């Protein structure tokens, strides 16, 4: 009812994630009238910061485009307050609870609370316990948003899960994988299940292979100390890319209900065999040829003999009636030639082909940047020639949806939390199934110190990459390049 209130409590409010993502996303929701009435935001962290200073820091990361937004930002900042305290001390949490109670006393209805844990793993468990014991409300619902890392392997993830489960119900926990909030990832189910012509060919009979690629043009940029403990497989592949894979490959859920959707996703993951070293290509970047960009081993915090991969390609097979024998090639890397995330579905060769030089059809879902869905297909070369040439049916968002601003993934996910929709969050059994695929390989890499192939900062990746994807069945169409349309 109009009397209900909601407080979003941001833990780790003075950290990077909160300023870069959480607060801007909350402002985006406020700006577009998606925050329910009587919503307030309380930041919590260890450092003592004056409220004015805190608000200044929030607004320094938020872009406003006009006077109206400037006014909205003022209103938004008025909703943001700050409490400092530690993560393992009852008194601090009681103080936080008093502050939240004070805010929620103003109106009479249900008093909902969302706890956003933008916290390092070391304080994760004590904080979740402190919140449950001292800041939990009986007068409304409680939702706990948690961020990766969810452990480092099957065992540590289980431990973390058990510790969390001592205080919180699975039903209250929202595990964020921000790729699930991206517009194009959310589009996948509609493409597959609301279109006869995609649905009909979505199987091993028509699809030859699937590639899911993540590229980033930046290195670890001083985060090397953190990154070195995890590596690219844990940072990107085990979560973001595997989530995309499971949606590309899942069966149609019975309904759009979160548990129906997640039941289907987890089935895909359980049908994948654990990876072995023969299934992967690992890389680590060196400095750029012009000497301007440092190599990974030069990042402070990275041990000089580190074998942590900053690039990985791996092939997965799903033992199911739909996908048996179809390679799913996942690739991800830092310090590459460009920023790009895409899903590339390559179809089978034309049976009984009568034309020379034809390329395989491909459906490409361009996740970012320049969101697009395009289909590469053969077309008669226009004019007097009768050659078949590759062309494309191109749905580029910048052209087709000119007035739409695509929201940041965090906006979309926080909105889901406010609505209580868990379909785009990771369930505990999903997490466990994902770790099982990677754990033996990760342990072997670490035990045997398997050396990654070097690649230069700004290159396409290790020299062996083309051979790797071709070995697993991808056929390159040498002459063709898609360029996003100019507006």
Where do contacts with ligand BG6 occur on this chain (CB under 6 A)? Answer: 178, 216, 235
Residue 216 or 453 having the CB closest to ligand BG6: 216
Residue 23 CB neighbour total at 10 angstroms: 26
Residue 253 or 452 having the CB closest to ligand BG6: 452
CB of 268 to ligand BG6, least distance (A): 21
| Alpha-carbon separation of residue 31 from 24, 79, 186 (angstroms) | 10, 13, 22
Q: How far apart, in whole angstroms, are the C-alpha atoms of residue 75 and residue 71? A: 6
Q: How far apart, in whole angstroms, are the C-alpha atoms of residue 436 and residue 485? A: 42
CB of 16 to ligand BG6, least distance (A): 11
Helices (H), 105-153: 121-134
63: helix, strand or coil: coil
Supply φ then ψ for residue 193, to 5 degrees: -105, 0
Residue nearest to ligand BG6 (CB): 235
Q: How far apart, in whole angstroms, are the C-alpha atoms of residue 369 and residue 446? A: 34
Residue 153 or 216 having the CB closest to ligand BG6: 216
CB of 38 to ligand BG6, least distance (A): 31
Q: Going along 74-195, which residue ranges are E strands?
A: 80-84, 111-117, 142-146, 173-175
CB of 179 to ligand BG6, least distance (A): 7
CB of 227 to ligand BG6, least distance (A): 7
Q: Output the six-digit token pair for 395.
A: 């749905």
CB of 296 to ligand BG6, least distance (A): 13
Residue 193 or 230 having the CB closest to ligand BG6: 230
Residue 392 CB neighbour total at 10 angstroms: 15
Q: Which of 35, 31, 78 is nearest to 58 (CA)?
A: 78
Residue 216 or 477 having the CB closest to ligand BG6: 216
Q: How far apart, in whole angstroms, are the C-alpha atoms of residue 402 and residue 315? A: 37
Residue 241 or 329 having the CB closest to ligand BG6: 241
- Helix, strand, coil proportions of the chain in percent (round to 5)? 40, 20, 40
Residue 112 or 178 having the CB closest to ligand BG6: 178
* Of 112, 178, 240, 472, catalytic: 240
Start-to-end Cα distance in the chain: 44
192, burial (CB in 10 Å: exposed 0-12, middle 13-18, buried 19+)? middle
- Evaluate whether 361 touches 375 at the Cβ level (below 8 Å): yes
Catalytic site includes residue 240: yes
Supply φ then ψ for residue 40, to 5 degrees: -130, 160
CB of 124 to ligand BG6, least distance (A): 16
Q: Going along 201-244, which residue ranges are E strands?
A: 207-215
Residue 17 or 318 having the CB closest to ligand BG6: 17
CB of 443 to ligand BG6, least distance (A): 21
Determine the Cα angle at 164 with ends 161 and 166, to 5°: 110
- Evaluate whether 107 touches 4 at the Cβ level (below 8 Å): yes
- Kind of pairing, strands 453-456 and 280-286? parallel
The radius of gyration computed from the CA coordinates of the chain, to the nearest angstrom, equals 24
Residue 4 or 235 having the CB closest to ligand BG6: 235
Determine the Cα angle at 370 with ends 367 and 371, to 5°: 40
Q: Output the six-digit token pair for 409.
A: 């993934």
CB of 145 to ligand BG6, least distance (A): 15
User: Which positions are annotated as active-site residues?
Assistant: 240
């Amino acid at each position: 009812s109009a009397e209900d209130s909601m407080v979003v409590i941001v833990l780790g409010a003075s950290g990077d994630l909160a300023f870069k993502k959480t607060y801007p996303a909350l402002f985006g929701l406020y700006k577009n009238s998606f925050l329910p009435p009587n919503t307030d935001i309380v930041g919590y962290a260890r450092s003592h910061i004056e409220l004015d200073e805190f608000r200044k820091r929030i607004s320094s990361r938020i872009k406003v485009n006009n006077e109206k937004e400037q006014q909205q930002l003022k209103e938004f900042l008025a909703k943001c307050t700050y409490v400092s305290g530690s993560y393992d001390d009852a008194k601090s949490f009681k103080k936080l609870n008093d502050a939240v109670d004070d805010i929620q006393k103003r109106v009479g209805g249900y008093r909902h609370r969302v706890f956003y844990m933008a916290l390092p793993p070391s304080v994760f468990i004590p904080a979740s316990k402190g919140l449950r014991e001292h800041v939990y409300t009986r007068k409304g619902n409680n939702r706990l948003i948690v961020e990766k890392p969810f452990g480092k392997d099957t065992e540590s993830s289980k431990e973390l899960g058990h510790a969390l489960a001592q205080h919180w119900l699975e039903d209250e926990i929202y595990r964020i994988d921000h790729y699930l909030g991206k517009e194009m990832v959310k589009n996948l189910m509609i493409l597959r299940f609301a279109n006869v012509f995609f649905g009909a060919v979505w199987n091993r009979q028509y699809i030859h292979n699937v590639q899911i690629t993540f590229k980033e043009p930046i290195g670890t940029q001083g985060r090397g100390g953190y990154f070195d403990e995890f590596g690219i497989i844990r940072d990107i592949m085990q979560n973001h890319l595997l989530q995309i894979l499971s949606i590309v490959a899942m069966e149609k859920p019975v309904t759009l209900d979160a548990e129906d959707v997640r039941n289907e996703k987890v089935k895909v993951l359980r049908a994948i065999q654990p990876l072995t070293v023969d299934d992967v290509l690992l890389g680590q970047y060196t400095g750029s040829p012009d000497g301007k960009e440092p190599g990974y081993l030069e990042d402070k915090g990275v041990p000089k003999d580190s074998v942590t991969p900053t690039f990985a390609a791996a092939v997965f097979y799903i033992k199911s009636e739909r996908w048996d024998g179809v390679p799913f090639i996942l690739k991800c890397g830092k310090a590459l030639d460009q920023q790009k995330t895409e899903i590339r579905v390559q179809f089978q060769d034309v049976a009984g082909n009568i034309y020379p030089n034809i390329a395989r059809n491909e459906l490409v879902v361009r996740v970012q940047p320049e969101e697009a869905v395009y289909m590469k297909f053969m077309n008669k070369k226009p004019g007097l020639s009768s050659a078949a040439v590759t062309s494309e049916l191109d749905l580029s968002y910048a052209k087709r949806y000119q007035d739409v601003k695509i929201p940041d993934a965090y906006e979309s996910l926080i909105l889901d939390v406010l609505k209580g929709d868990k379909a785009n969050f990771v369930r505990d059994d999903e997490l466990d199934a994902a770790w099982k695929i990677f754990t033996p390989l990760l342990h072997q890499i670490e035990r045997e110190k398997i050396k990654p192939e070097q690649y230069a900062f700004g290159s396409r990746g290790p020299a062996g990459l083309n051979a790797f994807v071709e070995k697993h069945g991808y056929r390159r169409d040498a002459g063709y390049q898609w360029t996003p349309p100019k507006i």
